[in-house]
Amino acid sequence: MAKVAAASSSKSAPRKWTRRAEARPEEILDAALEEFTEKGFDAARMEDIARRAGLSKGGVYLYFDSKEALLKALIEAKIGPIAQNAQLIAQAGAADPINALKLLARAAISRFADPKVFAVPRLVVGLSGRFPEFAAHYRTHVVEVARAALESLVAAAIARGEFRDIEPRAAVRAFIGPILFEAMWTHVLRGESAFDTPEKLIEQHFDVVLHGLAKERTS
């Protein structure tokens, strides 16, 4: 990481190899994510990652200290954007919570549809036993942030009388769970999709989750 920082922070002085060296860390990270996803952290070979990133075996070590450091950098690098999204939309949409939730769901679904994006949480899941710290990092920086954002939206919706008086945490669970399930089904189990476009999934999701299953309302 120190290495990466050092390499990528020297933007001021003009270099001859500019494009290459500047872009390298990112290229390696991408290559690593692909290899890790395909083979798993342990089974992935550093040389394959290097080759995929367009350099030789030893080249990776110019940017990352070790395989584990590469993994760590990878997780941290890919985590930020996701978490930030959640926060921003949540704040922006306090005025119209239900609409904000819809926006968020739409964003989450379309992002999770991209294998590249889903690859990171998937990796974290696979490695959680061996590297609990990554799982913890992910929980703290991504899931809890998103959760808090969603809960406040739900709370707002309840306050406005737009939602029933339910446990916000349970609502969030009901909101995210199906999206997670669908992503697992698609990327991990490689099951076939039951709808033609993502839009259809979103629609279904809202239909069921926002409106409920039961025909007759008891409460």
- The contact set with DNA (CB under 7 A) reads 7, 10, 15-17, 20-21, 24, 43-47, 50, 55-59, 61-62, 65-68
d(CA 16, CA 26): 19
d(CA 56, CA 126): 27
d(CA 4, CA 21): 11
Among 10, 114, 181, 199, binds its own copies (CB under 8 A): 181
Core vs surface per residue 196-216: b (16+ CB within 10 A) or e: eeeeebbeebeeebeeeeeee
Our finding on whether 109 is near its own copies (CB under 8 A) is no
Question: Is 213 a residue that touches its own copies (CB under 8 A)?
Answer: yes
Give the helix ranges, DSSP H, for 40-143.
Answer: 46-53, 67-92, 97-112, 115-127, 132-138
Helix (H, G, I), strand (E, B) or coil at 205: helix
At its nearest, how many Å lie between DNA and the CB of residue 132? 18
128 binds, among DNA, its own copies, none (CB under 5 to 8 A by kind): its own copies
Residue 181 interacts, among its own copies, DNA, none and using kind-specific CB cut-offs from 5 to 8 Å, with: its own copies
- Using CB under 8 A as the binding rule, whether residue 162 contacts its own copies is answered as yes
Nearest approach, Cβ of 32 to DNA (angstroms)?
A: 11
| Site stretch for its own copies (CB under 8 A), options 8-16, 54-62, 67-75, 188-196 | 188-196
Question: For residue 57, what are the contacts with CB-CB under 8 A and spacing of at least 6?
Answer: 46, 47, 50
Q: Which is nearer to its own copies, 43 or 92 (CB)?
A: 43
66 Cβ contact partners less than 8 Å away, ≥ 6 residues apart: none
User: What is the smallest separation between the CB atom of 31 and its own copies, expressed in angstroms?
Assistant: 15
| CB-nearer residue toward DNA: 2 or 17 | 17
Q: Report CA-CA distances (Å) from 13 to 7, 8, 63.
A: 12, 12, 19
Min dist CB 71 to DNA, Å, is 10
Q: Find the shortest distance in angstroms from Cβ 70 to DNA.
A: 8
The number of residues making up the chain comes to 219
**Contacting its own copies (CB under 8 A), which of 24, 67, 78, 205?**
205
58 binds, among its own copies, DNA, none (CB under 5 to 8 A by kind): DNA
- Please pick, from the candidates 40, 54, 80, 81, the single residue that binds its own copies as defined by CB under 8 A: 40
